Every structure is written in structure tokens, then in C-alpha cells.
Structure 1
Amino acid sequence: MADWEIRPATSADVEAIAELRAVVLRADLTRLGRYDSQRVRQRLRDEFVAEHTWVIEVGGEFAGCVALRPAADAHWLEHFYLASHLQGSGIGAAVLSHLLEECDRDGIVVRLNVLQGSPARRLYKRHGFVVSTEDPVDVFLVREPRRGPTIALF
């Protein structure tokens, strides 16, 4: 696995993230009959919140992004995209583990949705996500916080 790091996103990152989203989601959205090259980018621009987003860098270069948006009953894992040539390298799993460790420490439930048939669903299943609901386009997943082992003091 290549060395990676994450840094807070800024508003200057939005176009690179929107372009990555269009590339990464194209196959799944096309398969579902929902790909629109303008809409896929605009949805990211409309939903982008820099303070909840991190940029993934590999070798100092933009490689992906992930957002963790707080909500009333959980945090929503959103916009988790990794450049195609890095998928399957372990970077996505490492980034996800890092974020989930923080949520576990704080006792936070994590929710997300993936497109039907997305290979990313295997990654989420390996990290403890289970299906909450689904429809013809989306699968909604949830993960309860994991607690560390309890140590008896007496």
C-alpha cells in the first residue's frame, strides 16, 4: 500500500472532487441508467461542505476524498471517492478504518448509502456495516459503534 495522508478540504478542492466523482461513479450510474455528466458534478458542488470533508493524498498528490457529516442520530459517510488506479490497494480500507476508529471512540453511529451493485459495498461490509434499507437505486447501510473490550477492575 502506498503512503497516504488526509488533510482538511478547502473550497479550492471542489472541482477536483467533482471531477473524480464523475469518473468514479460513471460505470455504476450508467448501469443504472442514471448517468448525466453535468448532474453528477453539480450534485457534488451543491452538497460540498469543506468543514466536513477531507482530501486523500498519495505521494503529495490528490487521490480522493471523504466526508463525514454530523446529523442528529449519526454521522453520514459521504463522497468517499478514490482514484480508480488506487482502488483495491488498501488505501480506502485504511482511510475508512481511521474514520471509524474516531467514531467508535466517540460512540457515534455511522450511516451511508451506495449505489445498487457497487463493489464498494464489500468494503463497507468488511468494516461492519449492515443494510438498513434499499430501493432500486440505493442501498442504505448503518454501523453501530464498536466498543473495546471491557476490563474488570475487581
Structure 2
Amino acid sequence: MPAFADRKTAVVLCAASNNDLEDLVAIRIEAMRESLERLGRFNPDRARERFVGGFDANSTRRIEVSGDLVGFVVIKDHQSELLLDHLYVIPSAQGAGIGSEVLAQIFREADETGRPIKVGALKESASNRFYTRHGFVFVESGEFDNYYVRSHCNSVALGDQADLDTMPGQRLHR
């Protein structure tokens, strides 16, 4: 397994295929294990079944660092919004800025089309802090998950001297 401390290493999002399914299931189970065990809800068979049942390679991108598969992201393109359905990074690669870089790439895509991004996060999971730290705002809570939205950020032309302030927690992408 490569070292992930070097933040200059590019995080690359690549199209997934149906051939990636088993690797992605393994990543999901590994990444979810700690949070679900803490809640007494870890069931690898159920985690596999739920993911396989909704898998769509066209909405899924592999997360690669130095050519190694370290995670994946699923973005469902709804007419008025993007749904960040899954974002998993293997535990050994967490904390190295990979998830933040993936979000930055997704934010650029959402901002270019002027659409918000919605996401759900398992209650009691560290992912709740991750999403709020990156500008997502809590919207509601369900039985097992908290739901967040990140409004799009209007782009400002380079050289524009307009007020460059953004909403708290949002970045201005230029």
C-alpha cells in the first residue's frame, strides 16, 4: 500500500465499470466497518446487498492515487441537483486530504452547472464533521442518517474585482 502523506500526489477520478464491482464492495465494507460496529449495526452481507442492488457504473468513479485504487464516489445526476450517494476512502488512506480533493472536484462540476449537492451521512459517523467542514449545511435527520446540502457557488471571472466573499464554509472556485 502506498504512502498517502504526500499531498502533492494527484487524486484522479476515473470512470468505473461493472468489472470494478467486487473491489468497490470491499472498499465500502472496509470503510464503513468502524462506524457501523460502534452502532452495533455492522452486517457485511447487508452492506454488500444494498450496494450491489443500486450499483450503476455510469454514476461511479474510482478514486486513484499514484495508480492505486483508494476509494470511490457515486454521483447521481438529478435534474435540479447532484446526489453524492457514496464517498468511501480506504481507512489506510483517510486523513491525507483525498476526500477533500474529491469534494473539490465535485464542487467544481456542481458550480459549473449551478446545482446544489445533497448527501446523507450515518449518524454518529465522522463523515458528518467532514461534510460540515466542507460547507454542507444540515437539513434534516432520518432514522439512521443525517442529510446535508451544499448550495452551488457562483463562479467569478478572473480579474473581476467584485466582492469575493463566499458563504461561510464555501470556497470560491476560479
Q: How well do the aligned residues superpose, as a CA RMSD in angstroms?
A: 1.8
Residue 132 of structure 2 aligns with which residue?
A: 125
Q: Which has the higher contact order (CA 8 A, sep 6+)?
A: 1
The answer (yes or no) to whether the contact 2:63–2:71 under 8 Å persists in 1 is yes
CA–CA distance in 2 between the matches of 1:116 and 1:8?
A: 29
SS in structure 1 at match of 2:114 = coil
The residue matched to 2:138 in structure 1 has which SS? strand
SS in 1 for 2:147: strand
What amino acid sits opposite 1:130 in the alignment?
A: V
Counterpart residue number, 1:104 = 111
Match of 1:69 among 73, 76, 80: 76
| Structure-2-length-normalised TM-score | 0.82
1:48 maps to: 55
Q: Which runs of 4+ in 1 moved over 3 A?
A: 149-153
In 2: Cα distance, 1:140 partner to 1:132 partner: 6
Q: 1:27 matched to which residue of 2? A: 34
The unaligned stretches of length 5 or more in structure 1 are none
What is the CA–CA distance in structure 2 between the aligned matches of 1:76 and 1:86, rounded to whole Å? 24
- Kept in 1, the 8 Å contact 2:115–2:151? The answer is yes
* 1:3 shift after superposition: 2.8
Among candidates 107, 120, 125, match of residue 113 of structure 1? 120
Q: Which amino acid aligns with 2:85?
A: E
Contact residue 32 and residue 137 of structure 1 kept, 8 A: no
CA contact (8 A) 1:18 1:42 kept: no
**1:133–1:140 CA contact under 8 A, matched in 2:** yes
Deviation at 1:10, TM superposition (A): 0.3
- Equivalenced residue count is 153
Q: Name 2:85's counterpart in structure 1.
A: 78
The alpha carbon displacement at 1:38 in A equals: 0.5
4, 12, 37: which is aligned to 1:5?
12
Deviation, structure 1 residue 136: 4.1
Normalised by the size of structure 1, how large is the TM-score?
Answer: 0.92
